[in-house]
Amino acid sequence: MDLQRIEKILKKEPDEAAEELLKEVEKAYGEIPYILDFMKQSPELLVTKILYDNAIFREFKRLDLKTIELISIGVSAALRCEHCLKMHIRVARRLGVTKEEIFDAILIAGSLSNAAVLAEGTRAIDSEKLKDECEVCGIPEEREEG
């Protein structure tokens, strides 16, 4: 969306601008995502969210729509956002993405999520010295009972 178009939208009343943008979202996605429908109650926030999201998801041409949806599927799966995941799967299917490609995106997300858990956990272990651990070799020292 070019700056002149954005300027025209921003000159409209918030309710009118929100309705116009929601129609464009529905045209692009084939449906209106739940959160955007919910945000109709706050048109000023809705308009800015849609414009921001549009700038990221739809305006640059470095990634095609299928790739964007596969990334969205992977992130939604990793974040465990069931509603986002199901919506992005529906959008991807409308774009011709296969079930196997969707599954691959979910597998990649799962693998990275697993790696993130392992990396965070092992870094925490390494960063915390046990009180009774030998500074040189890391072997726990024996305590004298008494």
Ranges under pLDDT 50 in the chain: none
Domain around 83? 64-128
Whether 71 and 124 share a structural domain: yes
98 belongs to a structural domain: yes
Q: Are residues 53 and 86 in the same domain?
A: no
- Domain closes at, from 37, 60, 83: 60
Task: Indicate left, alpha or beta for 25 from its phi (over 0: left) and psi (-120 to 50: alpha).
Answer: alpha
Torsion of CA 43, 27, 68, 86, to 10 degrees: 80
Question: What is the per-residue pLDDT for 87?
Answer: 96
Q: How far apart are CA 24 and CA 29, in angstroms?
A: 9
Q: Which pTM value belongs to this model?
A: 0.75
Do 71 and 46 lie in a common domain?
no
CB 69 within 8 A of CB 92: yes
**What is the CATH classification number for the domain harbouring 79?**
1.20.1290.10
Q: Does 34 lie in the same domain as 68?
A: no
User: Residues with Cβ < 8 Å from 21, sequence gap 6 or more?
Assistant: 9, 46, 47, 50, 51
